[in-house]
Structure 1
Protein backbone atom coordinates (compact mmCIF):
# COMPACT_ATOMS: atom_id res chain seq x y z
CA UNK A 1 0.00 0.00 0.00
CA UNK A 2 0.97 3.57 -0.51
CA UNK A 3 1.88 5.30 2.68
CA UNK A 4 3.44 8.43 3.98
CA UNK A 5 2.81 12.09 3.36
CA UNK A 6 5.04 12.53 0.33
CA UNK A 7 3.07 10.81 -2.41
CA UNK A 8 5.09 12.44 -5.18
CA UNK A 9 8.09 10.27 -4.33
CA UNK A 10 5.84 7.22 -4.18
CA UNK A 11 4.50 7.79 -7.69
CA UNK A 12 7.77 9.06 -9.19
CA UNK A 13 8.23 5.62 -10.77
CA UNK A 14 5.01 6.08 -12.73
CA UNK A 15 6.20 9.40 -14.13
CA UNK A 16 9.60 7.92 -15.03
CA UNK A 17 7.99 4.96 -16.83
CA UNK A 18 5.88 7.27 -18.98
CA UNK A 19 8.84 9.58 -19.68
CA UNK A 20 11.03 6.62 -20.67
CA UNK A 21 8.41 5.37 -23.12
CA UNK A 22 7.97 8.81 -24.66
CA UNK A 23 11.73 9.31 -25.03
CA UNK A 24 11.92 5.98 -26.83
CA UNK A 25 9.20 7.11 -29.22
CA UNK A 26 11.01 10.35 -30.03
CA UNK A 27 13.82 8.36 -31.62
CA UNK A 28 11.43 6.93 -34.22
CA UNK A 29 9.85 8.87 -37.05
CA UNK A 30 6.13 8.58 -36.41
CA UNK A 31 3.28 10.45 -38.09
CA UNK A 32 0.91 12.70 -36.12
CA UNK A 33 -1.77 10.00 -36.24
CA UNK A 34 0.72 7.46 -34.92
CA UNK A 35 1.70 9.78 -32.07
CA UNK A 36 -1.94 10.23 -31.13
CA UNK A 37 -2.49 6.48 -31.03
CA UNK A 38 0.63 5.94 -28.91
CA UNK A 39 -0.40 8.61 -26.42
CA UNK A 40 -3.95 7.37 -26.12
CA UNK A 41 -3.16 3.68 -25.87
CA UNK A 42 0.07 3.53 -23.90
CA UNK A 43 0.75 6.69 -21.89
CA UNK A 44 -2.83 7.31 -20.83
CA UNK A 45 -3.44 3.64 -20.10
CA UNK A 46 -0.50 3.48 -17.70
CA UNK A 47 -1.70 6.48 -15.73
CA UNK A 48 -5.40 5.51 -15.93
CA UNK A 49 -4.69 2.13 -14.36
CA UNK A 50 -2.86 3.77 -11.46
CA UNK A 51 -5.62 6.35 -11.07
CA UNK A 52 -8.20 3.58 -10.79
CA UNK A 53 -6.35 2.27 -7.74
CA UNK A 54 -4.99 5.42 -6.09
CA UNK A 55 -5.66 9.13 -6.03
CA UNK A 56 -2.67 10.71 -7.74
CA UNK A 57 -1.38 14.13 -6.69
CA UNK A 58 -2.37 17.00 -8.99
CA UNK A 59 1.26 17.94 -9.57
CA UNK A 60 2.03 14.45 -10.84
CA UNK A 61 -0.92 14.58 -13.24
CA UNK A 62 0.31 17.96 -14.48
CA UNK A 63 3.82 16.59 -14.99
CA UNK A 64 2.53 13.58 -16.95
CA UNK A 65 0.31 15.84 -19.03
CA UNK A 66 3.25 18.12 -19.85
CA UNK A 67 5.39 15.11 -20.91
CA UNK A 68 2.67 14.00 -23.31
CA UNK A 69 2.12 17.56 -24.60
CA UNK A 70 5.85 18.01 -25.30
CA UNK A 71 5.89 14.75 -27.24
CA UNK A 72 2.82 15.78 -29.20
CA UNK A 73 4.34 19.12 -30.21
CA UNK A 74 7.75 17.61 -31.05
Structure 2
Protein backbone atom coordinates (compact mmCIF):
# COMPACT_ATOMS: atom_id res chain seq x y z
CA UNK A 1 0.00 0.00 0.00
CA UNK A 2 1.37 3.41 -0.88
CA UNK A 3 2.22 5.90 1.90
CA UNK A 4 -0.43 8.37 0.70
CA UNK A 5 -3.17 5.77 1.07
CA UNK A 6 -1.90 4.86 4.54
CA UNK A 7 -2.06 8.50 5.62
CA UNK A 8 -5.59 8.92 4.24
CA UNK A 9 -6.81 5.79 6.01
CA UNK A 10 -5.09 6.86 9.24
CA UNK A 11 -6.63 10.32 9.04
CA UNK A 12 -10.15 9.06 8.28
CA UNK A 13 -10.14 6.31 10.89
CA UNK A 14 -8.31 8.29 13.57
CA UNK A 15 -5.99 5.36 14.17
CA UNK A 16 -2.31 6.12 14.32
CA UNK A 17 -0.20 4.05 11.93
CA UNK A 18 2.80 2.10 13.16
CA UNK A 19 5.25 -0.49 11.90
CA UNK A 20 6.16 -1.82 15.36
CA UNK A 21 3.23 -3.86 16.69
CA UNK A 22 4.95 -5.23 19.85
CA UNK A 23 1.80 -6.70 21.51
CA UNK A 24 -1.76 -7.66 20.63
CA UNK A 25 -4.18 -8.91 23.32
CA UNK A 26 -1.28 -9.44 25.72
CA UNK A 27 0.71 -11.58 23.30
CA UNK A 28 3.89 -10.44 21.60
CA UNK A 29 3.60 -10.03 17.85
CA UNK A 30 6.56 -11.95 16.56
CA UNK A 31 8.77 -10.11 14.15
CA UNK A 32 11.95 -11.87 15.21
CA UNK A 33 13.23 -15.22 16.36
CA UNK A 34 11.63 -16.64 19.50
CA UNK A 35 13.85 -17.08 22.54
CA UNK A 36 13.51 -17.26 26.31
CA UNK A 37 13.54 -13.45 26.65
CA UNK A 38 10.44 -13.25 24.45
CA UNK A 39 8.38 -14.87 27.22
CA UNK A 40 10.15 -13.26 30.16
CA UNK A 41 6.99 -11.32 30.96
CA UNK A 42 5.11 -14.57 31.65
CA UNK A 43 7.72 -15.56 34.23
CA UNK A 44 7.68 -12.03 35.63
CA UNK A 45 3.88 -12.11 36.05
CA UNK A 46 4.08 -15.42 37.93
CA UNK A 47 6.89 -14.08 40.14
CA UNK A 48 4.98 -10.86 40.83
CA UNK A 49 1.86 -12.77 41.80
CA UNK A 50 3.84 -14.97 44.17
CA UNK A 51 5.59 -11.99 45.77
CA UNK A 52 2.34 -10.88 47.37
CA UNK A 53 1.62 -14.26 48.91
CA UNK A 54 3.07 -15.34 52.20
CA UNK A 55 3.86 -18.97 51.48
CA UNK A 56 5.21 -19.61 54.94
CA UNK A 57 1.89 -18.87 56.67
CA UNK A 58 -0.27 -20.91 54.29
CA UNK A 59 -0.95 -24.57 54.77
CA UNK A 60 0.24 -27.08 52.21
CA UNK A 61 -3.34 -27.34 50.90
CA UNK A 62 -3.51 -23.55 50.54
CA UNK A 63 -0.22 -23.40 48.64
CA UNK A 64 -1.31 -26.30 46.41
CA UNK A 65 -4.62 -24.60 45.61
CA UNK A 66 -2.92 -21.31 44.74
CA UNK A 67 -0.35 -23.10 42.61
CA UNK A 68 -2.92 -25.09 40.66
CA UNK A 69 -5.56 -22.40 40.29
CA UNK A 70 -3.58 -19.20 39.85
CA UNK A 71 0.01 -19.90 38.87
CA UNK A 72 -0.90 -22.49 36.27
CA UNK A 73 -3.57 -20.20 34.77
CA UNK A 74 -1.25 -17.25 34.06
CA UNK A 75 0.64 -18.76 31.08
CA UNK A 76 -2.40 -20.46 29.53
CA UNK A 77 -3.21 -17.56 27.20
CA UNK A 78 0.34 -17.58 25.87
CA UNK A 79 0.39 -21.35 25.52
CA UNK A 80 -2.90 -21.40 23.64
CA UNK A 81 -1.28 -19.98 20.53
CA UNK A 82 2.38 -20.99 20.71
CA UNK A 83 4.59 -23.56 22.39
CA UNK A 84 6.67 -21.90 25.09
CA UNK A 85 10.41 -22.65 25.10
CA UNK A 86 11.54 -25.41 27.44
CA UNK A 87 13.63 -22.95 29.46
CA UNK A 88 10.52 -20.86 30.18
CA UNK A 89 8.49 -23.94 31.12
CA UNK A 90 11.30 -25.14 33.40
CA UNK A 91 11.46 -21.75 35.12
CA UNK A 92 7.68 -21.74 35.67
CA UNK A 93 7.87 -25.24 37.13
CA UNK A 94 10.73 -24.19 39.39
CA UNK A 95 8.79 -21.18 40.68
CA UNK A 96 5.71 -23.29 41.35
CA UNK A 97 7.69 -25.98 43.15
CA UNK A 98 9.57 -23.51 45.30
CA UNK A 99 6.33 -21.83 46.36
CA UNK A 100 4.60 -25.13 46.99
CA UNK A 101 7.36 -26.46 49.21
CA UNK A 102 7.90 -23.15 51.02
CA UNK A 103 11.29 -22.22 49.60
CA UNK A 104 12.43 -18.61 49.85
CA UNK A 105 14.07 -18.75 46.40
Aligned match of 1:35: 63
Q: Does 1:48 align with 2:76?
A: yes
Within 1, Cα distance between the matches of 2:83 and 2:55? 32
Within 2, Cα distance between the matches of 1:68 and 1:27? 11
Matches within 5 A, 1:1-74: 1-26=29-54, 29-74=57-102
Q: Give the stretch that moved more between structures: 2-11 or 30-39.
A: 2-11
Deviations 1:6-56 (A, max 9, x none): 421111011000011112113672111111111111110111221112210
* Unmatched segments (≥5 aa) in structure 1: none
* Unmatched segments (≥5 aa) in structure 2: 1-28
Q: With structure 1 as the length reference, what TM-score do the two structures score?
A: 0.86
Across the aligned residues of Structure 1 and Structure 2, the Cα RMSD in angstroms comes to 1.6
Within 1, Cα distance between the matches of 2:87 and 2:98? 16
Within 1, Cα distance between the matches of 2:70 and 2:78? 13
Within 2, Cα distance between the matches of 1:70 and 1:2? 31
Structure having the higher helix fraction is 1
